[in-house]
Chain A
């Protein structure tokens, strides 16, 4: 203790009291003294002394009462009882009341200093153990807080959690687990294996009944509701005891329905792509095979026809590969966009040149209404060109001979509106909904002989979406189709 130890002396013998006081002060203690029992009680209660020496016999209040009173407020004050009339009973009684020791009078300076030192040591021990006790209590409190915090966290996790002990009894769960298992409630301690999917039970039992186990998780995907409504992953992990034996298992149930949906879409897309890529290859291979086969006789005209058709299919294949690459580039955003100020009117006017031949062939008339006051927008020139040419190409391809195409461009609020209308085949209502799907091509009595990759509109939609725009389609079967593109003017 850096501070001086505080000593209280309670004695009605003035000489002894003052002598002791002086002696202890010289020894470096802080000393206060009381000439009678009442004053002793007042002082002893008013502040916490490290050590108190209390005379047993005093005229007003006896020493044991003083001891009791002081102890009632400061139980850690180390008290000595000093008396010339020592008796066995008072010694017992004083220790019973909490006195640390008993000092017989008269005492020599060495004796009293020795006793005080003992008392101070005792005081240190008491304080130290008090401190430890308090610390432990604080830790426990913290632990309790920590536990309730952890509980709150686990309960609010979206994944289901079940902990099962080696007797197959439920020892912990959260609400998400109940939801996944479609249960209103579940009792801790109940056997729950019979309500878990069979596959999971097998895994759990395997862990329970094997001699050794590895600290790893076993994952199983399980359809909890039919028709892919709810697919979850059960992850089963053993919990070891400190001696390495198995204490139980923890099951974590995660909802992977959306993930599985994407996986399915992806595999469907891959197999569609494969089909679309293989079809032209098979066609070309078919032609080359019959041309190289010596047992099959073909006229030169036929041969030329087949070569031309092979080239057409290969051209289609090349277009398809390019479209696919574009889609993946846009979707992956790896395409280095060159954002610049672009004038859509200029893009529209430039686009016609790509289709000059087709427009002439079908004798299609084109009408444009392009608003003069169209602001330039920040976008990638090639991407917007792609949007315009893909739509224009469709408007020509699916138009009738002598048909008409109308192109309108104007500003509405913060959007540029681009409308491209044709007077062609049009769409049936059920075709409209599938229009933007990859590889979807309207197949009906009117679309025979029209070629395409089935990706044109997908690309348009991907590009428009990437600029936070919108594409809409209006169409009537047999009358024509209008595509409406909304592009925000302030594209960042």
Chain B
């Protein structure tokens, strides 16, 4: 059982992702903008953050991830986005994007569960 924060400006994505992860027994907190997302992470210290790239601005998610890392918040981040290589944007896992995993929307329930479990397991090992 883990506490997972989902930060995404699409309320429908927040809903369906929450249901999938709740079905695995996790507790979920959500935020639909970077500002509230920062708040829930700082206040509730989740075990994992699921973070959307494009919110108010096209690169909100990146800035938020960088902000967490700068402030020493090492919570694993699963970043997801609906833009990708195919649509002309390319991201690398690097200092620019200090996240543990990166997936492209849409993501199937089983894939989401797998990714989340892997990240949580890796965190425990640490």
- A-side residues, CB < 8 A to B, are 267, 270-272, 274-275, 278-279, 281-287, 289-290, 293, 295-298, 306, 309, 313, 443
Q: How far is the CB of B31 from chain A (nearest CB, A)?
A: 13
CA distance A272 to B17 in the complex (A): 23
Complex interface: chain A residues within 8 A of B10 (CB):
279, 282-283
Q: How far is the CB of A449 from chain B (nearest CB, A)?
A: 9
CA distance A309 to B23 in the complex (A): 21
Given contacts A271-B89, A296-B23, A313-B12, contact A278 B83 (CB under 8 A): yes
**A286 and B82 form a contact (CB under 8 A):** no
> Which of A272, A282, A296, A443 counts the most chain B CB atoms within 10 A?
A282
Given contacts A278-B82, A290-B16, contact A271 B106 (CB under 8 A): no
Given contacts A271-B89, A274-B88, A293-B109, contact A287 B16 (CB under 8 A): yes
Complex interface: chain B residues within 8 A of A281 (CB):
106
CA distance A297 to B89 in the complex (A): 37
Complex interface: chain A residues within 8 A of B56 (CB):
443
Listed A/B pairs (19) with beta-carbon separation below 8 Å: A267-B88, A271-B87, A274-B82, A275-B54, A275-B82, A275-B83, A278-B82, A281-B106, A282-B13, A282-B105, A283-B10, A287-B15, A287-B16, A289-B106, A289-B109, A290-B16, A290-B109, A293-B109, A296-B109
Q: How far is the CB of A158 from chain B (nearest CB, A)?
A: 31
- B-side residues, CB < 8 A to A, are 10, 12-13, 15-17, 19-20, 23, 33, 54, 56, 58, 82-83, 86-89, 105-106, 108-109
Q: How far is the CB of B54 from chain A (nearest CB, A)?
A: 6
Q: How far is the CB of A448 from chain B (nearest CB, A)?
A: 8
Q: How far is the CB of A456 from chain B (nearest CB, A)?
A: 19
**A272 and B19 form a contact (CB under 8 A):** no
CA distance A282 to B104 in the complex (A): 10
Q: How far is the CB of B63 from chain A (nearest CB, A)?
A: 16
**A271 and B12 form a contact (CB under 8 A):** no
Q: How far is the CB of A204 from chain B (nearest CB, A)?
A: 32
**Closest residue of B by beta carbon distance from A292:** B109
> Which of A271, A281, A286, A313 counts the most chain B CB atoms within 10 A?
A286
Complex interface: chain B residues within 8 A of A297 (CB):
23
**A279 and B109 form a contact (CB under 8 A):** no
**B19 and A282 form a contact (CB under 8 A):** no
**A272 and B82 form a contact (CB under 8 A):** no
> Which of B12, B54, B56, B109 counts the most chain A CB atoms within 10 A?
B12
**B87 and A270 form a contact (CB under 8 A):** yes
Interface of chain A, main secondary structure:
helix
**Closest residue of A by beta carbon distance from B54:** A275
CA distance A289 to B112 in the complex (A): 11
**A274 and B87 form a contact (CB under 8 A):** yes
Closest 8 CB pairs of A and B: A286-B16, A274-B87, A278-B82, A283-B12, A285-B106, A282-B105, A282-B106, A296-B23
Given contacts A275-B54, A278-B105, A281-B106, contact A289 B83 (CB under 8 A): no
**B16 and A289 form a contact (CB under 8 A):** yes
Complex interface: chain A residues within 8 A of B83 (CB):
271, 274-275, 278
Complex interface: chain B residues within 8 A of A293 (CB):
20, 23, 109
Complex interface: chain B residues within 8 A of A287 (CB):
12, 15-16
CA distance A379 to B106 in the complex (A): 43
CA distance A306 to B105 in the complex (A): 18
**B82 and A282 form a contact (CB under 8 A):** yes
CA distance A285 to B87 in the complex (A): 19
Q: How far is the CB of B58 from chain A (nearest CB, A)?
A: 7
Q: Which of A270, A279, A284, A289 contacts B82 (CB 8 A)?
A: A279
CA distance A443 to B33 in the complex (A): 10
**Closest residue of A by beta carbon distance from B87:** A274
CA distance A306 to B89 in the complex (A): 31
CA distance A297 to B22 in the complex (A): 11
Complex interface: chain B residues within 8 A of A274 (CB):
82-83, 86-88
- Since A278-B87, A296-B109 are in contact, a sample of 5 more A-B pairs with Cβ atoms closer than 8 Å, ordered by chain A residue number, is A275-B58, A283-B13, A287-B16, A289-B20, A289-B109
**B19 and A290 form a contact (CB under 8 A):** yes
CA distance A271 to B89 in the complex (A): 7
Complex interface: chain B residues within 8 A of A295 (CB):
23
Complex interface: chain B residues within 8 A of A298 (CB):
19
Q: How far is the CB of A263 from chain B (nearest CB, A)?
A: 11
